[in-house]
Amino acid sequence: MGSTSLKIAEIRSQFFMELEKVCYAKDVEALKIRYLGKKSPLRGLMQELKECKEEERPQFGKMINDLKEEIFHHLDHVLQRLLFSEENSKVSQEKIDITLPGRKRFLGHMHPVTLMLKKATDILIHMGFSVQLGPDVDSDYYNFEALNFPFDHPAREMQDTFYLNTETLLRTHTSNVQVRTMEKYKPPIRVIAPGRCFRNETISSRSHILFHQLEGFYIDKEVSFADLFATMEEFWSRLFEKKVKTRFRPSYFPFVEPGLEVDVHCTSCNGGGCKLCKYSGWLEVCGAGMIHPEVLQAGGIDPEIYSGYAWGMGIERQIMLLYGIDDIRKFTENDIRLLSQFY
């Protein structure tokens, strides 16, 4: 009996000595295994109990259990204390580095073509036009025939066409919206039609198979050349954000009569002559003219009563002129270094 209680006292003092040396939470776990685990001296004592006198057993059993509980309690206490102080010192060592610069956010940009279409459309809406969209895939009728391009007319060769079959094609210009609109509405009609166009051209710095146009037309009683001139001056001045002079040269498109080419005073040299305008002082900006009586008729509008003007401009070309971009292919390459300059 005496030797057993001595052993218990020894284990106890041994435990407290070791516990005093513990510095880290992880060591508490090791100590726990050593004193409460399967191979602990207390377990050994439990085995020895079987050999001692029966009447002494409950007393020893209790002593061993009390010590186990005491050990458990102290281990837990020390563990909580160490965990707390370890957490505290970790937090006090962590510093927030406020010298790190903020992250730059990269916002998306609108494509320059979208921006130019939007700019032109906004100006023209303010000038009283409303928007009509035509289909990219259209019939030969609306793209050519109704616009006074008969089937075997050589003028068709002005626009190399992607045919899907003999009747269907990818529109070569936004003029396909003209007769469609006339069929739908009665004059006065004041419409613009922005959109994509396609031509079977060899791709180069100056021409592409995919490009954008904006068409505009006005049909009413007594619409004259003077209205077209005034609209052109006003529109191009607003687009180039300064008063620009316009010039009109005779040209040919089957759906207008007379047909014109519209020039504006070079935006870069103001007419003095520079590389951009090839030293002519003028930039060619769009085709235009008075809507051909045959076209009005195809749209169900009486040319004896009504007249109208129309113009059509290439969007990529305007951007190239305005920003000095020398290659139309850049609009489809989508190089972020170019695109990010437009917003």
Residues that bind ligand PHE (CB under 6 A): 173, 175, 215, 253, 256, 287-289, 310-312
Rounded to 10°, the helix 41-49/2-21 angle is 170
Q: How far is the CB of 279 from ligand PHE (least distance, A)?
A: 25
Please, are residues 212 and 315 in contact by the beta-carbon 8 Å criterion? yes
Query: 64 vs 182, which CB is nearer to ligand PHE?
Result: 182
Compute the least distance from the CB of residue 107 to ligand PHE, in Å. Answer: 35
Q: Is the peptide bond before 258 cis (omega within 30 degrees of 0)?
A: yes
| DSSP-derived 3-state class of residue 179 | helix
Q: Hey, what amino acid is at 207?
A: S
Residue number, 11 or 214, with CB nearest to ligand PHE: 214
CB under 8 Å, gap of 24 or more: what pairs does 153-161 form?
A: 153/254, 155/252, 155/253, 155/254, 159/199, 160/199, 160/200, 160/201, 161/199, 161/200
Q: Which helix (H) or strand (E) holds 44?
A: helix 41-49
Q: Determine the 3-state secondary structure of 215 from DSSP.
A: strand
Please say which residue, 296 or 310, places its beta carbon nearer to ligand PHE.
Answer: 310
Residue 142 or 253: the one with the smaller Cβ distance to ligand PHE is 253
Q: Which residue is nearest to ligand PHE (CB)?
A: 312
C-beta of 173 vs 190, nearer to ligand PHE? 173
* Minimum separation from the CB atom of position 277 to ligand PHE (A): 20
> What token pair was written down for 97?
């580095």
Q: Name the amino acid, one letter, at 106.
A: F
Residues 236, 205: contact at Cβ < 8 Å? no
CB nearer ligand PHE, residue 173 or residue 238: 173
- At 220, give phi and psi (nearest 5°): -165, -175
Which residue lies nearer to ligand PHE by CB, 112 or 287?
A: 287
Contact 271, 152 (CB under 8 A): no
Residue 286 dihedral angles phi and psi, to the nearest 5°: -165, 165
